[in-house]
Amino acid sequence: MKDPLAGQGGRSGTGSAPSSRWPDTPVLVEVWRSGFLESVHRGSLVVLDTSGQVTFGVGAVDRPILPRSSNKPVQATAMLAAGWAPRSAQELAIGAGSHNGEDAHRDLAAAMLASAALGPDDLGCPPALPQHEGTRADWIATGRAPERLAMNCSGKHAAMLAACVAAGWPTDGYLDRDHPLQQAIEARLAEAAGEPVTAVVVDGCGAPQHALSVTGLARGVLSLVEAAAGTRERAVADAMRAEPWFVAGTGREDTELMQAVPGLLVKGGADGVHVAAVPGRGAVALKLDDGGDRGRTPALAAALQRLGVPAEQLSRWLLTPVPGGDGVVGEVRAAPALIG
């Protein structure tokens, strides 16, 4: 696939690109095995109040990162503004989500395309096997080839294409940075974050990916849950919370967190990013330097406690088990610096 940013003045945005020198950030998560500190995960984490002001921060909370799929909820508001009219909360949720590629996920993305007189071949995301373990195993056992609909971003891409059709924009080249849709998304992300996009690169799904700080990322998602009823922002938040299975899928942490914590809006991103917001309480966002997934939920859960989310609603994620032999011999947990 061609680079959609090629020939457009490089990949930097309007602001200063982040330094190539990685900041010296603190330990956010510890991994204990049989009482021995085996590993740590460093990173940056921020907690905001309902007005978007920082109440707690560790690490480089103002340094641009790549939020990856954590940008999707705010991106979806730009697609609504372009004229996309999802026919259900499920369509809006999957348009802002990163699904497992389970049967109902693929069927919904296909129906969204069909409603815009398009098909799977119009998707710009690459073919993939489903992320859901059982579904992927069945595909491998039967020799079924990867498909674009099974890629975890196909819902977002279907929504992008539907927005282009609604706005009268071309669907060819919809992933190019200078396409009207991508220009609208870039502007919307900056507006919601309250800071400029400092770099634009190519995401794993082929779409432009926009650099923001963890503070800007948190502000953007906070603006969705605090928006008034009837607004595009609130519509995205409400759809994701009403249909969390279409945001992620069976066994996924985002789905299960939203089912466990009333009012919570949460969206993970690749390479160690997570963002969450609770109306009337505030928002949190984090980036783990190593880009791994293991430490994300203990750090996120500890930050949500700082917003007043009860520990009993977060118990599954505050401490995650470390196996040894036939049992559990340790835990992955937030570092003391995060414990309020």
Whether residue 17 is predicted with pLDDT greater than 70 in this model: the reply is no
pLDDT of residue 14: 41
Q: Where do the structural domains in the chain lie, given as residue ranges?
A: 27-338
pLDDT of residue 21: 86
Distance CA 87, CA 89 (A): 7
pLDDT band at 339 (very low <50, low <70, confident <90, very high): confident
Contact 246, 108 (CB under 8 A): yes
Question: Average pLDDT of 39-55?
Answer: 98
Whether residue 2 is predicted with pLDDT greater than 50 in this model: the reply is no
pLDDT of residue 324: 97
pLDDT of residue 13: 44
Distance CA 102, CA 131 (A): 8
pLDDT of residue 7: 38
pLDDT > 70 fraction of the chain, expressed in percent and rounded:
94
Name beta bridge partners: 268: 274
pLDDT band at 332 (very low <50, low <70, confident <90, very high): very high
Whether residue 16 is predicted with pLDDT greater than 50 in this model: the reply is no
pLDDT of residue 255: 98
Q: What are phi and psi of 26, to 5 degrees?
A: -80, 170
How far lies 89's CA from each of 48, 77, 92, 97, 231, in Å? 27, 14, 5, 12, 14
Whether residue 89 is predicted with pLDDT greater than 60 in this model: the reply is yes
Distance CA 340, CA 333 (A): 14
Contact 279, 286 (CB under 8 A): no
Whether residue 9 is predicted with pLDDT greater than 50 in this model: the reply is no
Question: Average pLDDT of 85-105?
Answer: 98
Beta strands per DSSP E along the chain: 27-33, 36-48, 54-58, 64-65, 200-202, 208-210, 212-213, 265-269, 273-278, 282-288, 319-324, 327-334
pTM (2 decimals)?
Answer: 0.94
Q: What are phi and psi of 34, to 5 degrees?
A: 50, 40
Asked which of 9-23, 73-87, 116-130, 305-319 is least confident by mean pLDDT, the reply is 9-23
- The SS3 of residue 4 is coil
Question: Average pLDDT of 88-101?
Answer: 98
Contact 276, 296 (CB under 8 A): no
The architecture of the domain spanning 27-338 is 3-Layer(aba) Sandwich (3.40)
Mean pLDDT score across all residues of the chain: 94
pLDDT of residue 5: 52
Whether residue 15 is predicted with pLDDT greater than 70 in this model: the reply is no
Show the tokens assigned to 298: 């203990």
Provide the residue count of the chain. Answer: 340
Whether residue 111 is predicted with pLDDT greater than 90 in this model: the reply is yes
pLDDT band at 198 (very low <50, low <70, confident <90, very high): very high
Whether residue 8 is predicted with pLDDT greater than 60 in this model: the reply is no
Task: Tell how many helices (H) and how many strands (E) occur in the chain.
Answer: 12, 12
Question: Average pLDDT of 214-229?
Answer: 98
Considering only CA atoms, give the Rg of the chain.
19
Contact 177, 32 (CB under 8 A): no
Cα-Cα end-to-end distance for the chain: 47
Show the tokens assigned to 91: 């369509």
How far lies 156's CA from each of 80, 113, 207, 337, in Å? 12, 11, 10, 36
| Model confidence pLDDT, tens digit, residues 287-322 | 999 999 999 999 999 999 999 999 999 999 999 999
| Model confidence pLDDT, tens digit, residues 114-170 | 999 999 999 999 999 999 999 999 999 999 999 999 999 999 999 999 999 999 999
Residue whose token pair is 């470390």 = 322
